[in-house]
Structure 1
């Protein structure tokens, strides 16, 4: 498998120009693209179009990263190898911990997959995306006259129209830094990677790990409450953008509230739950446990579907990836204003609570 010619760019705004220059130099990125209308209405798409146009003519793939990220020195090598493995795919190397796609990646990690297909009813995380250069040109043509200002939203519209969403790298080698947002996302609070993974582990996982194409229904949390994304939800009248509380969606999963209640009564660790509840309240502790119960159940189903797929990855790296994904479940599930309260002790307690639920979920029966 030959390594493709990969060109790259970082997109930025003048207020972050120094940060972007440092990032470009450290990661050896080819181009620095600055917002052409920095005093105009905020628009990530305006700058993104120029960043995608910066693809070198001879390059087979082009990588665009945003200025508010951190990444390892090996980023270009890892991305190039991934592009060689998946030459026709749109590849995403960062996924938000609190989004539906983040929940999809977390489920995939527990199932033992290192790539997962993005859901079609949510934005495409665009902090670090690699496209084949023909796809980049097609996206520019598609987006050129759009009134949309969010490139991540338009990416999803574009990919849906082509019938294939992006592939998400489950081990995230790119991390978001800071909480400010030029494009109006600051209200979302602390936004971090769902599965932060060092390059030493991510390299073999992304090069040889399994791909989860269809995870089925997906449990996720937002603002302290549990939800379920149902299979085919994108076909609804709102394009699937609505949210279904887990109790409302449960009948479509084959599970019952009685089964959930029985599992909680049997397996919920009261001491750990009380520890989480002291800071974040009993309702959140129980909601997090239920969410992870559903997560463990569905991840076990996905793992069985993947069982016949060959891979050749270090089992210790795969295990660390799983633990990384579970460690973000609690903080990501909190309301944005509560996330700063999640210090090391709080994260440890939430992670212990999450694992107890995941293990119980793996044994949860339908009906």
Structure 2
């Protein structure tokens, strides 16, 4: 697709890269639509922010500008899908990818279950592997970034800039870009210690009638890859950025008795084993599985989804794909991704059952959870 207007949306593209990775950028450019992307190389500063600013500064005569990093792997027909997505939220910043273990990925999974086309960004950074901005916003960020410390990560700088200007930040559900973890050189920014970072939900076609996210509940339970502990975060707009939350076990309503919670966890383990076999507890210890279960039980409390909407048979391909990445999102540093893939089906049912227990709690318990 070229810059001809469709639904009032037109696109220009840039790819940010480094001299050592130029071949990857050229290959990616060949996968993109007209007009040909501008390849922007690190000028030698060794700064993602400097390179990002230069890429955003190439925004031209179009309504929106896309910046891709050189290890992005776009879905076929990306431009048409982006235009459709942007037309639903033309004033927003829209990430086309988020990695499967971050807090925003948990929001994507809940949005996928709710049938929404986007989810809100809730991490202290904006996922920037593939990002779309309205052109005026793109040019303003390029100018703003020139005045920042070059050591500032570009995704953190974007979050602060967009928050200060009241620009809504969303991520596509499903993701329209995958992280090419197989064909590129090692991370140049020191992120290899984080393990494999693939998409939370890539592959299924977007829903035709999915609405843009209407927002998010103020509290989100998440189990992260650094601590593998169920934590709750305040995701209200006025909350300060945070990488560490409060343990869910300390934040649950007092009506939720610990002993009963353990019984329900064991019920889930029994159900999964009955339907799919006992492999889940052979791959992962009950201790960490309980943390995972607790996080998703809490999200069942706060998601607004009803228990009957969380049955496996009701899932569409987008929701299936999103829930199927839960285990590698959390445990990719501790268990081989290939091993986790063998219990993918177990994990989907495990998460759904945990959410069903939360969603089935009395209204007063769910309301207490949301209000803290």
Give the TM-score of the pair, scaled to structure 2: 0.83
In structure 2, how many angstroms separate the alpha carbons of the residues matched to 1:285 and 1:241? 21
- Superposed, which structure 2 residues align to 1:100-249 within 5 Å? 100-119=103-122, 121-147=123-149, 148-178=151-181, 180-198=186-204, 201-202=205-206, 204=208, 208-223=210-225, 224-232=228-236, 235=239, 239-249=241-251
The alpha-carbon deviation at position 229 of structure 1 amounts to 1.4
Preserved CA contact (<8 Å) 1:116 1:167? yes
In structure 2, how many angstroms separate the alpha carbons of the residues matched to 1:317 and 1:139? 42
> Runs of at least 4 residues of structure 1 off by over 4 A?
none
Residue aligned with 1:229, SS: strand
After superposition, the C-alpha distances for 1:212-242 in whole angstroms (9 at most, x for unaligned) are 3123311211132221112448635xx4333
Give the gaps of 5 or more residues in structure 1.
Answer: 305-315
- Relative to structure 1, the CA distance from residue 45 to residue 273 in structure 2 (aligned partners, 3 Å threshold; closer, same or farther) is farther
Match of 2:39 among 32, 35, 40: 32
In structure 2, how many angstroms separate the alpha carbons of the residues matched to 1:256 and 1:146? 49
Preserved CA contact (<8 Å) 2:88 2:211? no
In structure 2, how many angstroms separate the alpha carbons of the residues matched to 1:102 and 1:267? 23
After superposition, the C-alpha distances for 1:126-175 in whole angstroms (9 at most, x for unaligned) are 01111111101111122112114311111111112113441111211111
Match of 2:18 in 1: 13
Match of 1:263 in 2: 264
Preserved CA contact (<8 Å) 2:328 2:340? no
After superposition, the C-alpha distances for 1:5-64 in whole angstroms (9 at most, x for unaligned) are 210111111222111111111213421111111xx44x21111111111112x2111011
In structure 2, how many angstroms separate the alpha carbons of the residues matched to 1:185 and 1:273? 35
Residue aligned with 2:22, SS: helix
Q: Bigger CA drift: 21-30 or 208-217?
A: 208-217
- Relative to structure 1, the CA distance from residue 242 to residue 50 in structure 2 (aligned partners, 3 Å threshold; closer, same or farther) is same
Matched residues, number: 343
Give the gaps of 5 or more residues in structure 2.
Answer: 1-5, 308-312, 366-372
- Relative to structure 1, the CA distance from residue 159 to residue 328 in structure 2 (aligned partners, 3 Å threshold; closer, same or farther) is same
Match of 1:344 in 2: 341
Match of 1:310 in 2: none
Residue aligned with 2:221, SS: strand
Match of 1:97 in 2: 100
The alpha-carbon deviation at position 273 of structure 1 amounts to 8.7
Match of 2:317 in 1: 320
The alpha-carbon deviation at position 112 of structure 1 amounts to 2.1
Q: Which has the higher helix share?
A: 1
- Relative to structure 1, the CA distance from residue 303 to residue 12 in structure 2 (aligned partners, 3 Å threshold; closer, same or farther) is farther
After superposition, the C-alpha distances for 1:71-129 in whole angstroms (9 at most, x for unaligned) are 1231111112222332211111111111111111111112222212222x521100111
The alpha-carbon deviation at position 251 of structure 1 amounts to 3.9
After superposition, the C-alpha distances for 1:179-227 in whole angstroms (9 at most, x for unaligned) are 73212211110101111133xx21625xx42423123311211132221
Preserved CA contact (<8 Å) 2:96 2:172? yes
Preserved CA contact (<8 Å) 1:267 1:360? no
Match of 1:64 in 2: 67
Preserved CA contact (<8 Å) 1:276 1:282? no
Give the TM-score of the pair, scaled to structure 1: 0.84
